[in-house]
Each structure stands twice: as C-alpha cells, then as structure tokens.
Structure 1
Amino acid sequence: MSLKIAFAASRAPLAQTARAALVTRYGDVSFDEADVIVALGGDGFMLQTLHGSQHFSAPVYGMNRGTIGFLMNEYSESDLEARLEAAEEALLNPLSMTVKDTQGQAHKALAINEVSLLRAGPQAAKLRITIDGRLRMEELVCDGALVATPAGSTAYNYSAHGPVLPIGSDVLALTAVAAFRPRRWRGALLPKTAHVQFDVLEVEKRPVMAEADSRSIRDVVSVEIQSEPTVVHRILFDPGHGLEERLISEQFN
C-alpha cells in the first residue's frame, strides 16, 4: 500500500513549485492522516514544520528548497516513496524555555536548536548563571549566551565558537556570545537533565531579549531552560546522511 504523504512548503517560489509537482505525482493528505510529512524549504521552515506537527505521530522528512538545509535531504521528485521507506530516523527532544519579563508575565516556548539570550541595547548584557539551583557564575558580561541541543550545536552555537555535540549524547552546550568578562570564558558542557537559569542584572540599563528557535521575547528578567523529555520530534534522513554523520562531517569542513 502506498504511503500517505502530507506536503508542506515554505512561501519561497522554489518550494511552492516543488510542492505542486510532488502533490500532482504522489497526492496529499492532512498531517493527522499522514504516514510521513515532507517539508520543502530550508532549515528555518523545517523547524517550523517540526513545531507545527509535534502533536501528530508522523515523522518529518525534509527536502532542501531553501538556503542552508542542514536538517534537509537533497531534493528529487523521483523515487520519493522508496527514499521514505529506506530513511533513517533521529529522535530529538526540544528545550523548554520559561521567561519572566519586567511586567511579571511568564512566557513559555520550545526550542529544537537553542534558547538564546541577547543584549537588546547598546551596552553588554550582565547575566547570572545558576545550574540545578547552584550558583555557578555571579556575573557574565557578554553580548549574550545560549543553551543548545546536539541537533542545534552546529547552528548559532557553532557560530559562537561552541562545541559540536554528537547527536546521541545526553549533553547540552552552554555557550557565551562575545564574552567580555570573564574574557576567555566560552561556556560549559552540561548533562541533558540540567536545569539552567539566567538572571538578568541591571535590567533597565542593560535590556535583554530571549529567543527560542526565533520566537522572541523582550524585556527579560529571568530565563529557565531544561530539556523536555515528553516531546519527541522524529526526523528522517537518507541512509548515510543522517544527523550523526552530518555533525561529524561539519567538524572536518
């Protein structure tokens, strides 16, 4: 019996054209009916699709019709069903972010790649870092800081000189962005079970914003971050081109 496929595409003309061709060839069903969801676009759209489909059982297989495509497979209209049948699956837990703002309101979001704090004004941010209830750094003066999953370790984390994490590792990367004091501090490796809290010092003078996979919240007072084991994202890759191989290859490019 043929696979029931749901196609999703970014707004980019290249992605929309690809979706039209694939739907004509393979048909199209809704997410709740699908055996597999095929996302057409770049990594940003892949993250959007994963968040949008987390309550459905179907895994997501991406085909690159965007710019970077680290989470995507190569695009091809032929033999799609055979590729889906042969695909390897990676299971990812997102990060849970809870933000308290200056109005006393709490905001929650999930992040597959990373949760980041960034200065929102002309002066560097001042952050206090607590891990599992224990104060670890009284004051970090920086442009920002982030906590990244293994899947997100080659994204913003890597650009900020953070470590690339093997996909199967139960580890999170805490990475500073342009740290001024301590000047040479780049961050830390934490167990996946760690509860991380950032408190913003001098909130009015040095405003900070928080982001979870590009969802932004301003006027931050504190941010709590931890892995969310109750949410599991299923991503499919062509054999030999899975996340583990990509993470290793990235370090030798």
Structure 2
Amino acid sequence: MRRITFRASAAPEAQKALQVLTAEYGQHDLASADVVVALGGDGFMLQTLHEIERLDTPVYGMNCGTIGFLMNAYDSEGLLRRLDVAEEEVINPLAMRATTRSGLVEEGLAINEVSLLRAGPQAAKLKITIDGRTRLDELVCDGALVCTPAGSTAYNYSAYGPILPVGSDVLALTAIAPFRPRRWRGALLPKSAVVRFDVMEPDKRPVMADADSRSVRDVITVEIRSEPSIRHRILFDPGHGLDERLLREQFL
C-alpha cells in the first residue's frame, strides 16, 4: 500500500497532520490510490466512507478528533509499515427508504444506524413490522433505531441497546425512551431482516428519520435493510480492531 490518498477534516489538528503526512508520503489521486488515510474523528471517518462507498478502496483512520472509535492512534512515523500489517474489517451499511406525508420518497445509507425520532412535543407512536409480519402494533416512545454491529456502541449504546460483535450477522432494534410497552427494550434481528416502521397519527405526532445524519422530516413509513452490495473496508492496527474495541467498551 504505497499509493495513499490523505483526507482531513477541517479541524486544525487534522489539517496540521495532513501537511506533515503529505510532505512525508506524497498525495495520490483517489482513482489510483491503494488506500485512503482519513485524518479526523469518527464523524469524518463516516463521511469519508460514504464518499467512497462505490469504490473498493480500504480506509485507514488516524485519530485527530475526540473519541476515535473507528480510528487508529495518530503517529506521523512508520505509516507504511502500519498499513502493511493492518487488519481489515468489512462492514455493510443499512439502506433506508423513507416516505413522507407529501408522498416524497427519500433514500439513504447508514454505517452506524437509522433512527426515527419524535419531531414534536408528543411522543411518537410507531408500528413495527419485520419481514412483512407485524411484531409490535404500537410503540409509544421518543423514537427507535436499527443499528449495525459497527454502530452498536454509538447512539444505540446510549439508548441502552446491546453491543454487537462485528462478525455477528445480526442487527439491533432499540427503543429510545419507550413509554408503552414500558419494559420493551428492543430486539435482535437477523442481518437479512427487513424492518418497517409505520408512524401512527403523523399529523399529531410528527416523526423524522435520520441515516447517519441525513435527515428526512414528516415521515409516515421507513423501511430499513442491510445493503450487502456495498462493502466498507476499514483497516486497524493489529490487536486494535473493532472486535477488541467492542469488547473493551463493555468493561469501561
């Protein structure tokens, strides 16, 4: 992996790292690059993955942000060696298809999660259907989400959802501040599942949908499924891959 495309967030730390690394290793066009090195935080990593989602180029992140769950530690030295021995994780995004009250259909891809959130003062009412079969007639809540294993430590974890091993062929469906059923905390679904949310009383209880920060307002139905045709290849230093990070997160 000698031909590198460096990409950096607007953060001063990331921009400084960009100058140092391009001076040391050069800068190649994305079309000819063996690897993309993303400099920033997790948000910038997601942005980079979305921007190259139709390519098969692996991405190696270096943390110049805050948490850096998807990133490796920043070090300007020894990058070529680190790339040569890096371990690869492959993840598939979620595909969202949302229909609004006006009949507009919006589509989006999410590496972490697709979430539905109440957009007014009253709780949302959602009907949940899995693979064409109604599983919950009415969930009264602030919202709900479906996440990938890679995204299970993000919003899902904050909503008390389960952490999923990266290699598991499952998705997590998690309620956000559920009121009825009071003790319902979500479900684990096979990766092949097609999840549909129907918004009940959309005029009185408006709901928005969000796929990795791409928002659609006033939705009435949202369908979510895994998208196996898109593969995100993420590189990690040996012993610091997603499986290790997911395991470590559960003991903090």
The alpha carbon displacement at 1:32 in A equals 1.2
Deviations 1:128-177 (A, max 9, x none): 00000000000000000000000000000000000000000000000000
Superposed, 1:1-253 pairs within 5 Å as 3-253=2-252
Residue identity opposite 1:6 in structure 2: T
Aligned pair count reads 252
CA deviations on 1:83-103 (whole Å, 9 max, x unpaired) are 000100000000000000011
**Residue 57 of structure 1: CA displacement?**
2.3
Once the two structures are superposed, what CA deviation does each residue of 1:19-46 show, in whole Å capped at 9, x if it has no partner? 1110011000121111010000000100
Equivalent-residue separation in structure 2 for 1:57 and 1:24 (angstroms): 26
Return the TM-score normalized by structure 1: 0.99
Asked if 2 retains the 8 angstrom alpha-carbon contact of 1:31 and 1:56, the reply is no
Q: CA RMSD in A?
A: 0.7
C-alpha separation between the residues in 2 aligned to 1:155 and 1:134? 28
CA distance in 2 between partners of 1:57 and 1:116 (Å)? 27
Relative to the length of structure 2, the TM-score reads: 0.99
Q: 5+ residue gaps in structure 2?
A: none
SS in structure 2 at match of 1:63: strand
- Per-residue CA deviation, residues 201-230 of structure 1 (Å, 9 max, x unaligned), is 010110000000111110111000000000
CA contact (8 A) 1:31 1:53 kept: no
Determine the C-alpha separation between the residues in 1 that align with 2:113 and 2:28.
31
Q: Measure the CA separation in 1 of the matches of 2:25 and 2:54.
A: 24
* Distance (whole Å) between structure 2 residues aligned to residue 209 and residue 134 of structure 1: 23
Secondary structure at the aligned position of 1:19 is classed as helix
Inter-partner Cα distance in structure 1 for 2:115 and 2:131: 18
